[in-house]
Amino acid sequence: MPAILRVGLSVPDTEAEGPGRRFAIWVQGCPLRCKGCCNPELFAFSGGIERATDDLAAEIANTPGIEGVSFLGGEPFSHVGAVLDVARRVRAGGLSIMIFTGFTLAELRARRRADIDELIALTDLLVDGRYRRDLPETRRRWIGSSNQIMHFLTDRYSATDPQFYRRNTVEIRLSRDGLLVNGWPGAADALATTLTTCTDDRMAGRPAAALRMNSTAHRPGPHATKGR
Ligand code: SF4
């Protein structure tokens, strides 16, 4: 029986959630509840949709042009069995793995669990630590607060690569399901608010057919698009 991963959101090809073009997966459910988390809708372990890891891994494998997968949250290590199942296949297919976690690497290793240790071993780049609203990151890209550490666990990426210090970006997608904004939380939220206002004005008096706005982004802390 395939494992099931509860997914709050996924974006199959983004350049706003880690190095290069990546398949981004926001898992649904986080026990840490950092103050100022931009993804409080991902706290509950009961929301999102259930994805069979087989199907998710196949979707990733069939996405052209990506160099890796980013797991954001929610808290990926609170879903370690299913995330590990996907990560094994991702690495077997030659793609890189980046994980944003609210736990510190030391906390994860102290658990002495084989599944956690294996997931860490499969990870190229781990961003760890709770999001601290009082310590906003101003220098590193994709990072929410300055206490969070980027652990380069393999030689696939390097801390000296200038891409880790470029400006953060946001992306906008319009589809039949609505409008999705992902990327840096502050900018994404401002853009989402502006677009919602414009949409409300233009849709006034028309059937509520409409436009659904999703602002996402959690990086643990800057975990993801809102939860960075
Ligand atoms: S910032 Fe990350 S670790 Fe903290 S509550 Fe939000 S999702 Fe959880």
- CA–centroid distance, 181 to ligand 1, in Å, is 19
Tell whether the torsion through CA atoms of 82, 87, 92 and 95 is positive or negative. positive
Task: Quickly tell me which residue has 């880790």 as its tokens.
Answer: 164
- CA–centroid distance, 27 to ligand 1, in Å, is 11
- C-beta of 222 in contact with ligand 1 (< 6 A): no
Provide the pLDDT for residue 199: 55
- C-beta of 127 in contact with ligand 1 (< 6 A): no
**Average pLDDT over every residue of 72-93:** 97
Query: Does the pLDDT value for residue 27 go beyond 60?
Result: yes
Tell whether the torsion through CA atoms of 173, 215, 43 and 48 is positive or negative. negative
Length of the chain: 228
- C-beta of 227 in contact with ligand 1 (< 6 A): yes
Contact between 219 and 127 under an 8 Å Cβ cutoff? The reply is yes
Across the chain, mean pLDDT equals 86
Measured by CA distance, the residue closest to atom 2 of ligand 1 is 220
| Alpha-carbon separation of residue 38 from 90, 116, 118, 215 (angstroms) | 27, 25, 29, 9
- CA–centroid distance, 222 to ligand 1, in Å, is 8
**Average pLDDT over every residue of 194-211:** 48
Provide the pLDDT for residue 188: 67
Cα 125 to Cα 177: distance, rounded to the nearest angstrom: 32
- CA–centroid distance, 202 to ligand 1, in Å, is 35
According to DSSP, the β-strands at 68-72 and 22-27 are parallel
Provide the pLDDT for residue 182: 86
Ligand 1 pocket test, candidate residues 26, 43, 223, 228, most atoms within 8 A of CB = 223
Task: Quickly tell me which residue has 């199907």 as its tokens.
Answer: 55
Locate the ligand 1 atom nearest the alpha carbon of residue 42 and give its number.
7
Measured by CA distance, the residue closest to atom 7 of ligand 1 is 74
Query: Does the pLDDT value for residue 202 go beyond 90?
Result: no
Query: Does the pLDDT value for residue 210 go beyond 90?
Result: no
Query: Does the pLDDT value for residue 228 go beyond 50?
Result: no
For 147-181, the pLDDT digits (tens) are 999 999 999 999 999 999 998 888 988 877 788 88
Provide the pLDDT for residue 20: 97
pLDDT-based confidence at 219, cuts 50/70/90? Answer: very low
Provide the pLDDT for residue 197: 67
Locate the ligand 1 atom nearest the alpha carbon of residue 103 and give its number.
3
Query: Does the pLDDT value for residue 206 go beyond 70?
Result: no
- C-beta of 18 in contact with ligand 1 (< 6 A): no
- C-beta of 129 in contact with ligand 1 (< 6 A): no
Side chain identity at residue 28, one-letter code: Q
All domains of the chain in start order, with CATH: 4-225 (3.20.20)
